[in-house]
Amino acid sequence: MERQAVIEVRDLVAVYGGDVIIDSISFDVYAGEIFVVLGGSGCGKSTLLKHLIGLNRPRSGHVIVAGHDISHCDEQTYHTTLRKIGVLYQSGALLGSMTVAENVALPILEYTDLPQDAVNTLVEMKLSLVGLNGYEHHLPSEISGGMKKRAGLARAMALNPQILFFDEPSAGLDPVTSAELDQLILDLNRILGTTMVIVTHELQSIFTVAQRVIMLDKRTRGIIAEGDPIFLRDHSRNSFVRRFLNRELKVAES
């Protein structure tokens, strides 16, 4: 059966500060998969993510999300598309003056006309999904870093998005908390079937959650590998890809 692409990137050229960071890349993300973007520092991972969620417009090319070309659409179409996606930012990006529940309720109150009782029920459901029952009335300053990520994820899921984007979800977390977040990602993907796009360089997380990856390269400004990360680690014909995924130093030539 042919898989359905929910994100289609075609000949994308992305610039930052006037410099071309990504040059004419194309790829698809399929419905229900966990798709990881990886690569070394400065290769354009964060730049690509900003283009995938429409924060940046490409110099040329197309980014089609849930059937809409967000690189060339009008404002109304873009905001319609935004309701189909959720984003977990690296820091969690919670508003410090609001409780956990109020943070999760924000997109529901913004984009729906549901009565307060229904909003409260939805918030409880989302917090339950990420294991934060009982923390509704805590401020972000009163919970741990891992819990902030979970609260941010609950907010990202508030409108039942078709696609979830993660920006370095394990950044700043200890190994145990990072492993727990990886397991949560796997569980949510299995239970909800949500398509997930993750930008990360954390190898353990990549091997744990990724069903398919693309690897960006700073030198070529393009994609140098695509596929199953374990297969690429063991069998890629590109020596840099193998070294990166095996965390190996380059051996100097004699």
Is it the case that residue 251 has pLDDT exceeding 70?
no
pLDDT tens sequence across 148-173: 999 999 999 999 999 999 999 988 88
CA distance 237 to 241: 8
CA distance 253 to 251: 6
254 inside domain: no
Q: What's the domain count of the chain?
A: 2
Mean pLDDT taken over the chain:
91
Which of 214, 218, 219 lies closest to 229 in space, CA to CA?
A: 214
Domain boundary at 136, 160, 184, which?
A: 160
Buried b or exposed e, range 189-213, using 16+ CB within 10 angstroms: beeeebbbbbbbbbeebbbbbbebb
Same domain, 116 and 146: yes
At 115, the pLDDT band (50, 70, 90 cuts) reads very high
Domain boundary at 122, 138, 160, which?
A: 160
Same domain, 60 and 112: no
Same domain, 2 and 75: yes
Same domain, 170 and 196: yes
168 inside domain: yes
Same domain, 104 and 219: no
Using a pLDDT cut of 70, give the percent of the chain over it.
97
CA distance 54 to 72: 10
Give the pLDDT mean for 89-105: 89
Q: State the pLDDT at residue 5.
A: 95
Same domain, 53 and 179: yes
Domain boundary at 160, 188, 218, which?
A: 160
User: In sequence order, what E strands does the chain have?
Assistant: 5-16, 19-30, 34-39, 60-65, 68-69, 85-88, 163-167, 195-199, 212-217, 222-227
Q: Is the dihedral of CA 166, 102, 70, 221 positive or negative?
A: negative
Same domain, 77 and 169: yes
Which of 189, 194, 183, 200 lies closest to 90 in space, CA to CA?
A: 200
More confidently predicted of 248 and 218: 218
40 inside domain: yes
Q: State the pLDDT at residue 173.
A: 86
More confidently predicted of 2 and 178: 178
Same domain, 77 and 134: no
Which of 108, 7, 111, 106 lies closest to 64 in space, CA to CA?
A: 7
pLDDT tens sequence across 1-47: 568 999 999 999 999 888 899 999 999 999 999 999 999 888 899 99
253 inside domain: no
C-alpha distances out from residue 214 to 100, 200, 203, 218, 241, Å:
34, 11, 13, 13, 11
* 37 φ/ψ angles, rounded to the nearest 5 degrees: -105, 120
Q: State the pLDDT at residue 252.
A: 42
Same domain, 191 and 229: yes
Same domain, 126 and 146: yes
Give the pLDDT mean for 85-112: 90
Give the pLDDT mean for 230-245: 94
Write out the residue range of the structural domain in which residue 240 sits: 1-84+163-248
> What number of H helices and E strands is found in the chain?
9, 10
240 inside domain: yes
171 inside domain: yes
What pTM did the predictor assign? 0.92
CA distance 19 to 213: 25
212 inside domain: yes
Kindly calculate the radius of gyration of the chain based on its CA atoms and give it in whole angstroms: 19
Same domain, 137 and 31: no
Same domain, 108 and 80: no
127 inside domain: yes
Q: State the pLDDT at residue 249.
A: 63
